[in-house]
Chains A and B, each alone.
Chain A
Amino acid sequence: MGADPFLVVVDYDAGNLRSVERALAHVGVDASISADWADLARADGVILPGVGAASDTMAKLGERELTEPLREYVASGRPFLGICMGLQALLDHSDEGGGQECLGVLPGTVRHFGFDHLKVPHMGWNQVEWVREHRITEDIPSGTYFYFVHSFYPAPDDSGLALGETTYGLTFPSVLARDNVVATQFHPEKSGDAGLAIYANFAKWVREA
Chain B
Amino acid sequence: MLTKRIIPCFDVDRGRVVKGVSFIELRDAGDPVELAKLYDAEGADELVFLDITASSDNRATVYDMVSATADQVFIPFTVGGGIRTTSDMKTMLELGADKVSINTAAVNDPDLVNEGAYRFGSQCIVVAIDAKGTGEGWEVYTHGGRTPTGIDAIAWAREVVERGAGELLVTSMDTDGHQRGYDIPMLAAMSEAVNVPVIASGGAGGPDHMAEALTAGKADAVLAASIFHFGTYSIREVKAALSEQGIAMRPVGDR
Contact = CB atoms under 8 A, between A and B. Distances in A.
Interface string B172-194: 00000000000000000000000
Contact of A119 (B45, B93, B196, B253): B196
Interface in A137-188: 145, 147-150, 167-168
A51 B124 CA distance: 10
A126 B74 contact: no
Interface string B56-98: 0000000000000011101110000000000000000110101
B3 A145 contact: yes
Given A124-B45, A125-B5, A126-B1, A51 B123 contact: yes
A34 interface: no
B2 A122 contact: yes
Contacts of B245: none
Contacts, number: 86
**Interface size grouping (class) on chain A:** 20 to 34
Given A123-B167, A145-B250, A193-B253, A167 B74 contact: no
B230 interface: no
Nearest to B95: A18
B220 interface: yes
B23 interface: no
A122 B5 CA distance: 13
Given A53-B121, A121-B196, A26 B166 contact: no
Nearest to B198: A119
Given A15-B124, A51-B121, A120 B5 contact: no
B201 interface: no
Nearest to B45: A125
Contacts of B45: 124-125
How would you classify the secondary structure of chain B's contact residues: helix, strand, loop or mixed?
loop
Contacts of B255: 193
Task: Tell me which of A19, A52, A53, A119 has the highest count of chain B C-beta atoms within 10 A of its own C-beta.
Answer: A119
B74 A23 contact: yes
A27 B94 CA distance: 21
Interface residues of B, number: 33
B2 A125 contact: yes
Nearest to A167: B1
B215 interface: no
A126 B3 contact: yes
B70 A22 contact: yes
B40 interface: yes
Interface string B88-125: 00000110101000000000000000000000111110
Given A15-B124, A18-B70, A193-B253, A124 B98 contact: no
Nearest to A16: B98
13 contacts: A19-B96, A22-B74, A22-B96, A25-B71, A120-B195, A121-B122, A124-B220, A125-B5, A126-B3, A145-B3, A190-B75, A192-B74, A193-B255
Pairs A-B, 9 closest by C-beta atoms: A52-B121, A125-B250, A145-B250, A149-B123, A126-B2, A190-B76, A125-B3, A123-B197, A124-B5
Given A19-B96, A53-B121, A145-B3, 19 more contacts: A15-B120, A18-B70, A19-B70, A23-B74, A52-B120, A52-B121, A52-B123, A122-B2, A124-B197, A124-B220, A125-B3, A125-B5, A125-B45, A125-B250, A147-B76, A148-B2, A168-B2, A191-B74, A192-B74
Interface of A: 15, 18-19, 22-23, 25-26, 51-53, 119-127, 145, 147-150, 167-168, 189-193, 195-196
